């Protein structure tokens, strides 16, 4: 068999995958982590690096990009092998060893596999308005990598979910003016944030949608919005449009690996074991067979620790699942 055989290979380098990488190193497992993105951090790094996260243990609040930085530092302190920019396309078991092939045709070998692939491959829902596609990256944005790009801008935010509400509040002290349009008067966001939004002074246009994006060829200058009840149109002077109307997610090749899957979730028992012995799951992609599903970073951490410890005993039957407390372990 060509290539090194690892004790565990972790598919996905989001928060759950990174914490699993750390814990596998703590358990002295030979570890590899593979991710389709060019940088670690998963959705946290791609979708909202400049947003604060408030429900991570140990922090009253922390910027997503700072959380990723801390997770990366923690994860790779034991020398795990990192493969970025490669999507795992197939998983096969040969004589007790798993073979993982990637989009680049590379083959990786492992005694155990932990799938921490988040929601799978994801892409934003596009704004269906005339001219929107023409100005993508030139005033129409679906991601925020750097808040300073919106400084002193007239910003239009489209959407009514957590991302739209969070960004509206997050940009208050950055943008010159913020207008939020939402096609309904009911928000799909955290109640506390919606209450804060209502008191923020941000210009809210409820029951409004965007029908056209206008510009000078190089950047956005206006947006035409309409009341979806009366159809009356309003022209807004805007410098930037941030679209937060959801994402499409797909497990992709994972669906063909022989796993028990329900929708976008890989089913697992309380030990985070899938129906394939030696394959485990953690994070948003995990669907408990009997229990409550919470797509939280904190939950993903716990699932990652469970999966790695159970995998350690699977790979090395002489090891205990519970290794003792880290404060008592020798580094």
CA–CA distance from 78 to each of 21, 73, 75, 269, 310 (Å)? 9, 10, 7, 29, 19
End-to-end CA distance of the chain: 32
Domain boundary among 245, 261, 290: 245
Tell me if 310 sits within 8 A of 272, measured CB to CB. Answer: yes
CA angle 66, 31, 296 (to 5 degrees): 40
- Ramachandran region, residue 303 (left: φ > 0; alpha: ψ -120 to 50; beta: rest): alpha
For residues 49 and 81, membership in a common domain is answered with: yes
pLDDT at 329: 67
- Give 297's DSSP letter: H
pLDDT at 217: 95
Q: What is the mean pLDDT of each run of 10 residues along the chain (331 residues)?
A: 84 97 97 93 84 91 94 97 94 94 95 91 87 96 90 97 92 96 95 95 97 97 98 98 88 93 93 97 93 91 97 96 76 51
What gap in Å lies between CA 196 and CA 199, rounded to an integer? 5
What gap in Å lies between CA 281 and CA 274, rounded to an integer? 7
Tally of CA atoms within 13 A in the half-sphere of 118 that contains its CB:
25
For residues 139 and 198, membership in a common domain is answered with: yes
pLDDT at 330: 58
Burial 233-244 (b: 16+ CB within 10 A, else e): eeebebbbbbbb
CA–CA distance from 110 to each of 14, 35, 152 (Å)? 20, 16, 51
For residues 239 and 257, membership in a common domain is answered with: no
pLDDT at 118: 84
For residues 117 and 266, membership in a common domain is answered with: yes
Tell me if 63 sits within 8 A of 13, measured CB to CB. Answer: no
Sign of CA dihedral 54, 56, 58, 59: negative
Q: What is the Cα gyration radius of the chain?
A: 22
- Residue 277 CA to chain centroid, in angstroms? 27
Domain boundary among 224, 245, 266: 245
CB atoms within 10 A of CB 106: 13
CATH at 72: 3.50.50.60
For residues 175 and 270, membership in a common domain is answered with: no
For residues 51 and 114, membership in a common domain is answered with: yes
Domain span at residue 21 reads 5-122+248-328
Residue 264's nearest CA partner among 162, 118, 126, 125 is: 118
Strands 240-243 and 247-250: unpaired
- Give 86's DSSP letter: -
For residues 131 and 234, membership in a common domain is answered with: yes
CA–CA distance from 155 to each of 159, 180, 316 (Å)? 13, 8, 56
For residues 238 and 286, membership in a common domain is answered with: no
The pTM of this model reads 0.77
Domain boundary among 245, 267, 299: 245
For residues 15 and 89, membership in a common domain is answered with: yes
What domain count does the chain have? 2
For residues 183 and 252, membership in a common domain is answered with: no
For residues 296 and 257, membership in a common domain is answered with: yes
For residues 79 and 20, membership in a common domain is answered with: yes
């Amino acid at each position: 068999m060509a290539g090194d055989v690892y004790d565990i290979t972790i598919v996905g380098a989001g928060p759950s995958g990174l914490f699993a990488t750390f814990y596998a190193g703590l358990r002295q497992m030979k570890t590899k982590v593979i991710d389709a993105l060019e940088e670690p951090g998963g959705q946290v790094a791609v979708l909202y690096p400049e947003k604060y996260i408030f429900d991570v243990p140990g922090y009253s609040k922390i910027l997503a990009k700072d959380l990723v930085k801390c997770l990366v530092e923690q994860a790779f302190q034991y020398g795990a092998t990192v493969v970025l920019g490669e999507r795992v396309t197939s998983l096969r078991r040969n004589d007790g060893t798993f073979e993982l092939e990637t989009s680049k045709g590379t083959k990786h070998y492992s005694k155990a596999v932990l799938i921490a692939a988040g929601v799978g491959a994801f892409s934003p829902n596009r704004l269906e308005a005339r001219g929107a596609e023409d100005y993508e990256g030139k005033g129409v944005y679906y991601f925020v990598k750097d808040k300073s790009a919106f400084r002193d801008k007239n910003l239009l935010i489209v959407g009514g979910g957590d991302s739209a509400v969070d960004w509206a509040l997050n940009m208050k002290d950055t943008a010159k003016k913020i207008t939020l349009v939402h096609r309904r008067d009911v928000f799909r966001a955290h109640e506390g944030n919606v209450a804060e939004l209502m008191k923020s002074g941000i210009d809210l246009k409820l029951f409004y949608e965007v029908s056209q994006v206008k510009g000078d060829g190089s950047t956005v200058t206006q947006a035409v919005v309409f009341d979806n009840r009366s159809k009356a149109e309003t022209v807004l002077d805007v410098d930037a449009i941030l679209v937060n109307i959801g994402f499409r997610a797909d497990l992709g090749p994972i669906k063909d690996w022989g796993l028990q899957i329900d929708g976008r979730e890989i089913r697992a028992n309380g030990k985070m074991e899938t129906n394939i012995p030696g394959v485990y799951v953690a994070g948003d992609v995990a669907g408990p067979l009997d229990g409550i599903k919470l797509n939280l970073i904190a939950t993903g951490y716990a699932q990652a620790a469970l999966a790695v410890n159970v995998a350690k005993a699977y790979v090395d039957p002489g090891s205990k699942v519970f290794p003792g407390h880290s404060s008592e372990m020798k580094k």
